[in-house]
Amino acid sequence: MYKVVIGLEVHCEVLTNTKNFSSAKNTYTNIPNINVMPVDLGLPGILPVVNEEACRKALKTAMALNCETPDEIIFDRKNYYYPDLPKGYQITQVTKPFGRNGHVTFLVNGKEKTVDIHQLHLEEDTASLEHYSNYSLIDYNRSGIPLMEIVTEPCIYSADEAVAFLETLRNIFLYLGVSEAKSDKGQMRCDVNISLMKDTDKVLGTKVEMKNINAFNSVKEAINYEIKRQSEILDKGEKVIQETRRIDEDGKTYSMREKVDAVDYKYFVEPNLAPVKITKEYKDTVRKEIPELEYSRIKRYLELNINLEDALTLAKDKDISNYFDEVIKNTKDINLAVNYLTIVILGSLNKLNININDLFITPTMLANVINLVKENEVSNQLAKNIIYEAMEKNIDPLEIIKSKNIKQISDEGELRNIVKKIIDESPEQVKEYLNGKEMVANFLVGKVMSATNKQANPAASLKLIKEELERMR
Ligand code: ADP
Ligand code: MG
């Protein structure tokens, strides 16, 4: 058995109006080569300009990942030639990136895990290539789109941990609003580095790098395939070659090339861009924009005795979590709040295919209804129906309750009278009950409910029905 060691390099397109170093639009379009300025084509005599929005979002992400952030950032040139890189170099960061030495904590199958972040830097995306049988096409729309790269330390030990980390990272991007992070659009993709070692080994094994994997499921597949392939090599007493591989549709990985060393890129500071100072005031304002993140919310919900599954559901989406937090500011019944949110509200959002912010029912409206249920003023079933009706008609549920005069009947005297009347009208059922068929009591509850337009409190009705029937023995 070998210990699996994984390090990830995650690329994520930053959501901005314009590109990282030009004023071309940063929007997705399927018309090729329309979002292109001379800088993106690498035409001579053109100078890049730094995009403040991209920098701000990179800084914010670095902070959210608990990184140390520098007092100034510097851009560097990474030199290599490829048809998707018309300048012959990529502007990136090595000397002073936005963040170093961070960490992020999350849950993997219910257990806490922390991944150390080596660094976060900002760079530019390349153009995209489309290959045909005897020619290739280049689309420069993607050339120069701001790209954040997050490099982890080799401290991830399974495919499950890797996927949970990627999901956490995506969630942080969405919470911060720094990227849409859609992997099917290539907005989030990662390189997976993986090596194996024996428990007794003091140094890490030789790593293999798998480039540009989009889907998280493919990350899992690639890792599991490599564990098998590398184990077989080591079992035979042979050595793993340090190389770059790609994953194919069959879920297997294939060698692309032996690994290029950093020195081959001949990095140097980008002479066309001055260092950018980041003042303490600037950092403070950016830090204030960071909302409470998913993991902190999950922990807060668990402390309220919400079960893990519901805590995960509530914290997954910032808007839903914010909505829930507003609901529980206005009601003390956490259980009912969780139940109404995860079942009634989330169910309706799915059905109506809308965002929670577009929902007519506000958190206060929902809390008001929950409070009436808690005080036995309205039955659970009726309350749910009223919420559905309120959503359909865009009316405050309290108004519906008022207009229909449908407060739950819990008053014992009032209920007992109704129960007695129902028992009088049901001699057959009374006989059955007295002969030992006690289930009949539930049938009588049903009758009480219909006689009262579902306003009777079902639990109280059952109790009274049994009392009255027992008295007849
Ligand atoms: P390189 O110089 O080859 O680019 P780095 O040290 O910069 O390698 O690391 C690149 C990525 O590979 C990082 O995410 C790091 O965590 C990971 N990594 C480094 N060494 C190993 C290893 N032995 N096994 C698995 N991952 C590794
Ligand atoms: Mg490296």
Does residue 389 lie within any of the structural domains?
yes
Q: Radius of gyration over alpha carbons of the chain, in Å? A: 31
- Using CA atoms, how far apart are residues 224 and 385, in angstroms rounded to an integer? 48
Q: Among residues 241, 244, 265, 263, which one has the least CA distance to residue 253? A: 244
Which amino acid appears at position 373 of this protein?
V
The number of the ligand nearest the C-alpha atom of 205 reads 1
Which amino acid appears at position 449 of this protein?
M
Cα angle value 219/225/230 (rounded, 5°):
120
Does residue 119 lie within any of the structural domains?
yes
Residue 460 neighbours by CB under 8 Å, 6+ apart? 410, 412, 415
The DSSP result for 376-424, as a single string, is TSS-HHHHHHHHHHHHHHT--HHHHHHHHT---B--HHHHHHHHHHHHH
CA dihedral 23, 27, 28, 33 (to 10 degrees): -20
Q: Which domain holds residue 397?
A: 292-403
266 lies in the same domain as 298: no
C-alpha of residue 358 to centroid of ligand 2, in Å: 44
The number of the ligand nearest the C-alpha atom of 207 reads 1
Helix (H, G, I), strand (E, B) or coil at 150: strand
145 lies in the same domain as 208: yes
260 lies in the same domain as 377: no
Query: Measured in whole angstroms, how far is the alpha carbon of residue 89 from the centre of its chain?
Result: 34
For residue 209, the ligand 1 atom closest to its alpha carbon is: 12
Does residue 132 lie within any of the structural domains?
yes
366 lies in the same domain as 453: no
Does residue 329 lie within any of the structural domains?
yes
- Using CA atoms, how far apart are residues 408 and 373, in angstroms rounded to an integer? 9
The number of the ligand nearest the C-alpha atom of 92 reads 2
Cα→Cα distances 314→122, 124, 152, 218, 317, Å? 31, 35, 28, 27, 7
Pocket of ligand 1 (CB under 6 A): 5-9, 151-154, 193-195, 204-205, 207, 262
Alpha helix (H) residue ranges in 96-186? 159-176
Query: Measured in whole angstroms, how far is the alpha carbon of residue 471 from the centre of its chain?
Result: 58
50 lies in the same domain as 84: yes
- Structural domain ending residue among the three candidates 352, 382, 403: 403
- Using CA atoms, how far apart are residues 61 and 171, in angstroms rounded to an integer? 11
208 lies in the same domain as 340: no
Return the residue whose CA atom lies nearest to atom 3 of ligand 1: 261
Among 80, 207, 210, 240, which residue has the most ligand 1 atoms within 8 Å of its CB, making it the best to mutate? 207
71 lies in the same domain as 147: yes
272 lies in the same domain as 388: no
pTM of the shown model: 0.86
246 lies in the same domain as 153: yes
For residue 194, the ligand 1 atom closest to its alpha carbon is: 25
Does residue 287 lie within any of the structural domains?
no
Pair 47, 71: CB distance under 8 Å: no
DSSP 342: I
- Structural domain ending residue among the three candidates 214, 247, 282: 282
Q: Among residues 92, 26, 20, which one has the least CA distance to residue 51? A: 20
Domain total of the chain: 3
Q: What is the pLDDT along the chain (473 residues), one digit of tens a residue?
A: 899 999 999 999 999 999 999 999 999 899 999 999 999 999 998 899 999 999 999 999 999 999 999 999 999 999 999 999 999 999 999 999 999 999 999 999 999 999 999 999 999 999 999 999 999 999 999 999 999 999 999 999 999 999 999 999 999 999 999 999 998 888 999 999 999 999 888 999 999 999 999 999 999 999 999 999 999 999 999 999 999 998 888 888 888 877 766 678 999 999 999 999 999 999 999 999 999 999 999 999 999 999 999 999 999 999 999 999 999 999 999 999 999 999 999 999 988 899 999 999 999 999 999 999 998 888 888 899 999 999 999 999 998 888 876 677 777 888 898 999 999 999 999 999 999 998 899 999 999 888 887 778 888 889 999 999 998 88
